[in-house]
Amino acid sequence: MARPVQELYEKASGLPAADRAELAGLLLDSLEEPEEGVEEAWAAEIERRMDDFDAGRAETISWAELRAHLHRSDR
């Protein structure tokens, strides 16, 4: 690890967990700029899904069912 990076890491390691998480998110976001229109497409998809949920058109399962599915060995 380069010296400036090591120094930044040491300073950041002393931050509270919430601040470290925020910094990590900012650093990850800085690595890749989303393609044009991606944010708008995700916003539209979220809106569509919320509309389906609110209208009762979305099929839902309980947390217990989801957890059981995730832990099945045959998936």
User: pLDDT confidence of 75, banded at 50, 70, 90?
Assistant: low
The Cα 43–Cα 55 span in angstroms is 18
User: Which pTM was predicted?
Assistant: 0.46
Q: Rounded mean pLDDT of 8-17?
A: 95
Q: Which burial class, exposed, middle or buried, applies to 37 when counting CB atoms under 10 A from its CB (0-12, 13-18, 19+)?
A: exposed
Closest CA to 24 of 34, 13, 33, 35: 13
Rama region for 54: left / alpha / beta (φ>0; ψ in -120 to 50; rest): alpha
